[in-house]
Every structure is written in structure tokens, then in C-alpha cells.
Amino acid sequence: MRTSFLLSNARVFLDGRFESCSLRIVGSRVQEIGPSLCPNGNDILLPLEGACIVPGLINSHDHLELNLFSRLGDPPYSNYVEWGNDIRARHKEQIRHVMRVSLRLRLLWGAYKNILSGVTTVVHHNPYYLYFYFGFPIAVYRNYSWIHSLSFDPRLQKKLKSGGRKVRIIHLAEGVDSLARGELARLQELGGLQSNTVLVHGVGLSPDDCLQIERSGAGLVWCPGSNMFLFNRTAPIASMPASIPVALGTDSTLTGHTSLFDELREARRLTHRDADRLLGMVTSIPARMFGMASGKITEGATADLLVFDQESGEPFSDFLNLDAGKIKVLFKAGLPLLGEEGLKPLLTGHGRRAYERIAVGGRRKFIASPFGSMARRIKAILPSFNFNGLPLKLEEN
């Protein structure tokens, strides 16, 4: 029998606004949305008392295996090459120490870091590792080819000639000097600026560059936290043509914020964009950019859902003030990944996932396994690891 949840008395984000209604999840999908749904014999009832539901968030740029690091470097830098060479020389021992942790554990922490940001799908910038296929906690986008950058990818020419119609993702114009400013023209010369191209960063883009991007049909992923840390400058988002799709990413904790929620607030600070447009940058816009089926709430859609309480009475404002402790429950494909401890008794009947107890900012939560064993094994190698500053505490189950 498929798991069935009835999320009643909620405010659901539908077609750009919050509507008062209920929502039924059956298996991995949203089966019904309506103002007066009644529980049936199979439903696990979650009365939400006006809590808000938005699509599970999409982090459009992360390096999942690099999130055990704190920010490294001595900024500001002129470009990413200068930063990369500097940290390899200056922080060689610190990098070596973190890389002693197995790839699987580093990837798992990258996944949980995203879960604690309300993320259900992440776009990873590196190979699609075997670990992503078997029981990985979140969805990792698959239909991509990737180029690290024009300066650092030894297989640049080969990658530009391969990949077919997959989305091609590349770091570009990451800096403020002539090297960064010249990268879009170089990518065009190499034939790499196409409608299936997604550029990441774009700090050094000029107004003419933005017009070229618009003509090509390419998109941009913006990582404001990383950009401001490295260069004290970010992509010219406010002056870009409105037709260029812009999604939001965290980058890794080597340079970016730990939480996508913090990136959203950074984006608001830098552009003063309305909260509904910022919500689009982590839901519907990346879904269209990458050809994902997620990013919206409709009947028949995958049940990737982020639920949070209203605090101010203004859902968009509450969304921009979210942190891990304020997540009421996060569903991925119809199964909870994270939620308030008080809801856990409602989830034990489905028998499809094991959970553990944690505290987030003093609030007790449940989280999908194997969070505890992962954390303990990382701390055995890195005793000073503090969850990148997130206020987390493991609790006995």
C-alpha cells in the first residue's frame, strides 16, 4: 500500500500566490489539491493550521563533496585563478586534512547541508558519482555535462565537443579583471555559448555580454555569497535583460554561505528583488532552465514540498526569514526528510525510512538516516568540525 498523507488547512503556493487549501500526497506524487479535502482510511493526517507549503527548493550550484571546508582565502581577489592558486599554496595542509574524509561522507554532508536549507534537488558541479544512484538523501540533477572553467579544465576542448543536448554547465567570468571580462567572448569563439549552456557566477559580464547571453538563450546561476566573499562584487543581475533566466546557488562552503536561505537573503540585500521573484529563483526558474519536473505544486507533480509556519502573517516575508530550525517538514518524493519532532509519530506507519533525532537551534527535529553515523565518522577524522556553523546537536533516539 502506498503511503498517503493529507496536509490539511495549509496555505499552498499555487500559480504565484498562496491559496488556503489542503493537499493529499499518495506515494511520490501530489494527488489532490482542494479547499475541503476529507481524510480517507489510508491517510496519515497532518493538520497544518495555516502553515505554508512551497515547492522543495532547488540549489542550482553546489560542489557536494567540498562542504566540509570553511571559507578559505585572503580576499579580495582579481579572479578565480588567483584564488585557486592562493589557497593551494597557503592552505595546502588544511585541504589535505579535509580530503582524508572519504568521498561518500563528504557527499553525504553536502546532501544534509542542503536538506537543512529546504532543498530537495541540487545541481552538482563535478562528476555524477555512483553514490547518487543508491539511497542518496536528496535528488541530484542528472541531465548535465560540466566544464569546470576555461582556465582549469584540462579536457576543455573535448568537453565542448561532447555532451549532446545535455545542459552544459560552466563557471564563467568569475572575477573582476581582464581575464574574467574576456571569458564570454572566448567561450563564444570556442562555440560553447548555446541555448543549452548554463553559466555560473558571471561577475565580470559586461552589458554587451549580457545581450549575447540573451540572444543565445543561455541561462545564469548566481552565487552572491561566494562572489561577495571572493571579489566584493557580484554579477550585474539588476541590469540584465529580464529574459535571461537567473537561478540561485550556494557554491560550496569553500567560498559561499552554508545555507541557501542565507543566499536568498544576500540576493535580496543586493538587488531588493521582491520575495516572490526570489522564490522563483529557487523553484520554477531553475526547473525550466534545467528541464526538471519539479519546482511547482500541481496535481500529479512529484511531492517535493517545504512546509513552514507563518510567523508574520505574510508568507513571502516568512519564507525569506527561514532557517533550518523553522522548517516544519520537508518532503522529497512524498517521504519526509526533516521535520518537527512532534510530527514524527505520524510518520512511523509507512515503514519506508528510518529517522534520527537532532536539535536545530534548540528545536527538536527528526531527520532521515544516516545523519548520526555520518556526523560521528566525520568528527572522528575532523574533531573540530562544527557543521559549518549550523546550530546542530545530535540527540539520543
In eight-state DSSP terms, residue 233 is -
- pTM exceeds 0.95, yes or no: yes
Are 8 and 45 in contact, with CB atoms under 8 Å apart? Answer: yes
Q: What is the DSSP string of 167-204?
A: EEEEEES-BSSHHHHTHHHHHHHTT--STTEEEEE-TT
| Beta bridge pairs of residue 30 | 25
Span 161-173, pLDDT tens digits: 887 889 999 999 9
The class that CATH gives domain 58-290 is: alpha beta
Q: Are 201 and 226 in contact (CB under 8 A)?
A: yes
- Contact (Cβ atoms closer than 8 angstroms) between residue 122 and residue 62: yes
CATH level 2 (architecture), domain 4-56+294-356: Roll (2.30)
Domain ranges for the chain, please list them: 4-56+294-356, 58-290
Q: Among candidates 368, 286, 296, which has minimal Cα distance to 116?
A: 368
Over its length of 397 residues, how does the chain's per-residue pLDDT go in tens digits?
577 899 999 999 998 999 999 999 999 999 999 998 988 888 889 999 999 999 999 999 999 999 999 999 999 999 999 999 999 999 999 999 999 999 999 999 999 999 999 999 999 999 999 999 988 999 999 999 999 999 999 999 999 988 788 999 999 999 999 999 999 999 999 999 999 999 999 999 999 999 999 999 999 999 999 999 999 999 999 999 999 999 999 999 999 999 999 999 999 999 999 999 999 999 999 999 999 999 999 999 999 999 999 999 899 999 999 999 999 999 999 999 999 998 877 776 555 678 999 999 899 999 999 999 999 999 999 999 999 999 999 887 6
Q: Where are the beta strands (DSSP E) in the chain?
A: 4-14, 17-26, 29-34, 43-47, 52-55, 57-62, 119-124, 139-140, 144-147, 167-172, 197-201, 219-222, 246-248, 305-308, 327-332, 335-340, 355-360, 363-368, 392-394
Q: What is the pLDDT of residues 231-252, one digit of tens each?
A: 999 999 999 999 999 999 999 9
DSSP 65: G
Q: Is the peptide bond before 76 cis (omega within 30 degrees of 0)?
A: yes
Please report, as a single letter, which amino acid is at residue 351. G
Radius of gyration for the chain, computed over Cα atoms and rounded to the nearest angstrom: 21
